[in-house]
Amino acid sequence: MIELKNLTKRFQTDKGVLTAVDDVSLSISKGEIFGIIGYSGAGKSTLIRLLNGLEKPTAGSVDIQNRKISAIRGVELRKARQKVSMIFQHFNLLWSRTVKENIEFPLEIAGVSKTERNARALELIELVGLTGRENAYPSQLSGGQKQRVGIARALANDPEVLLCDEATSALDPQTTDSILDLLVSINERLGLTIVLITHEMHVIRKICHRVAVMEAGKVVELGDVLSIFQMPREQITKRFVAQVTEAEDASETIRHLREIYPAGELVKLGFIGDQTEQPVLTELIRKFPIEVNIVQGNISRTQRGAYGTLMLQLKGSEEEIRAAIAFLEDRNVRTEVMTGV
């Protein structure tokens, strides 16, 4: 569906050449919800602008449905963009137009008849849950409602790809979840391919099938979201995963426990899928003559299943603790002894 090959984008600045996207290659399948995550300056916004031709690459190529977006110009590019829509962090609505008129705007530009524009706009208003608000102006809408208008407008030309540029960053958590639920529903109902960029791992966890982690213009980690949660490799990925799998004060808790209980081991367990529902801890306590204290735990749900983390303090003889850890590993529970915390 989407193929990026050795994609590079450089900008000339007062301080010299800046490489915003550095030799990125990846494929995105039709109907996939694909996330791109990174901190500010990672290059993710530039990458998404390369996908719809708002930026041209310095090197490499962008192919969407066998159309080389990176090479086409003029009328051909404008037609291609009708199939690659975009929603934005700050909505970008026309404030002098009503909800329905905002949604009709791209159809108007495309030369669609008034009757067809009206019918399509009303259909999309129902799809995004704004029935009864079609004659309201943006100033009369909440942030979530404005973003729903933005989504409906982006769908007006029946696109193949929907790009989301930090689409929930300006929204409160509850509204963010409602917009993410809407995107999942649209993906399932329309089979639409969605590519979203964000700096929030909660967004990735909730709706994405796969994720690319960007740092300094490069994709440093790529994979299925559940696998990334289970075993992040890069330090930056571990920080993102910790946003939603660990309490903010986990490190302080560990240090505090080490002061109180200098003996024993602190062990972090990772559970995936059906493992999160198995009574592994009960078996451990029954089987081994050790003291087990639960420090903290969490279960995160992704589009492909659940991933849980649990921090334990194991107290007892060194031999029994080693045997207990081996028992957990035999049950395919990922274990990590928290040394040097």
pLDDT at 257 over 70: no
Q: pLDDT digits over 119-160, tens only?
A: 999 999 999 999 999 999 999 999 999 999 999 999 999 999
What's the pTM? 0.82
Q: Could you tell me the pLDDT band of residue 341, with boundaries at 50, 70 and 90?
A: very low
Q: What is the pLDDT of residue 269?
A: 85
pLDDT at 98 over 50: yes
Whether 71 and 150 map to the same domain: the answer is yes
Into how many domains does the chain fold? 2
Task: Measure the CA–CA gap between 282 and 284, rounded to whole angstroms.
Answer: 5
pLDDT at 181 over 60: yes
What mean pLDDT comes out for the span 86-90?
89
Task: Measure the CA–CA gap between 9 and 11, rounded to whole angstroms.
Answer: 7
Whether 126 and 214 map to the same domain: the answer is yes
Q: Which of 74, 91, 65, 276 is nearest to 166 (CA)?
A: 91
What mean pLDDT comes out for the span 187-193?
94
pLDDT at 273 over 80: no
- Rounded to 5 degrees, φ, ψ at 102 are -65, -45
Q: Could you tell me the pLDDT band of residue 56, with boundaries at 50, 70 and 90?
A: very high
Give the burial class of 36: count Cβ atoms within 10 A of its Cβ; 0-12 exposed, 13-18 middle, 19 or more buried: buried
Q: Are 150 and 87 in contact (CB under 8 A)?
A: yes
DSSP at 300:
E
Q: What is the pLDDT of residue 262?
A: 63
Least confident segment among 27-36, 41-50, 278-287, 293-302: 293-302
What's the mean per-residue pLDDT of the chain?
Answer: 88
The rounded percent of the chain whose pLDDT value lies above 90 is 60
Whether 59 and 187 map to the same domain: the answer is yes
Q: What is the CATH number of the domain that holds 33?
A: 3.40.50.300
Planar angle of CA 264, 266, 267, nearest 5 degrees? 125
Whether 17 and 111 map to the same domain: the answer is yes
Whether 279 and 236 map to the same domain: the answer is no
C-alpha distance from residue 325 to each of 40, 146, 341 (Å): 39, 51, 19
Q: What is the pLDDT of residue 253?
A: 60
pLDDT at 278 over 80: no
Q: What is the pLDDT of residue 279?
A: 84
Q: What is the CATH number of the domain that holds 259?
A: 3.30.70.260
Planar angle of CA 162, 88, 70, nearest 5 degrees? 55
Q: pLDDT digits over 232-253, tens only?
A: 899 999 889 887 766 544 566 6
Look up the domain containing 25 and give its range: 2-243
Planar angle of CA 134, 135, 138, nearest 5 degrees? 90
Whether 198 and 251 map to the same domain: the answer is no
CB atoms within 10 A of CB 12: 8
Q: What is the pLDDT of residue 72?
A: 85
Whether 266 and 278 map to the same domain: the answer is yes
Least confident segment among 22-26, 81-85, 152-156, 242-246: 242-246
CB atoms within 10 A of CB 66: 7
Q: What is the pLDDT of residue 271?
A: 78
Whether 171 and 280 map to the same domain: the answer is no
Task: Measure the CA–CA gap between 241 and 115, rounded to whole angstroms.
Answer: 48
What mean pLDDT comes out for the span 70-90?
85
Whether 120 and 9 map to the same domain: the answer is yes
Q: What is the pLDDT of residue 221?
A: 97
Which of 243, 276, 294 represents a domain boundary (last residue)?
243
More confident residue, 73 or 97: 97
Which of 214, 243, 272 represents a domain boundary (last residue)?
243
Task: Measure the CA–CA gap between 61 and 11, rounded to whole angstroms.
Answer: 17
What mean pLDDT comes out for the span 326-336?
87
Which of 225, 243, 261 represents a domain boundary (last residue)?
243
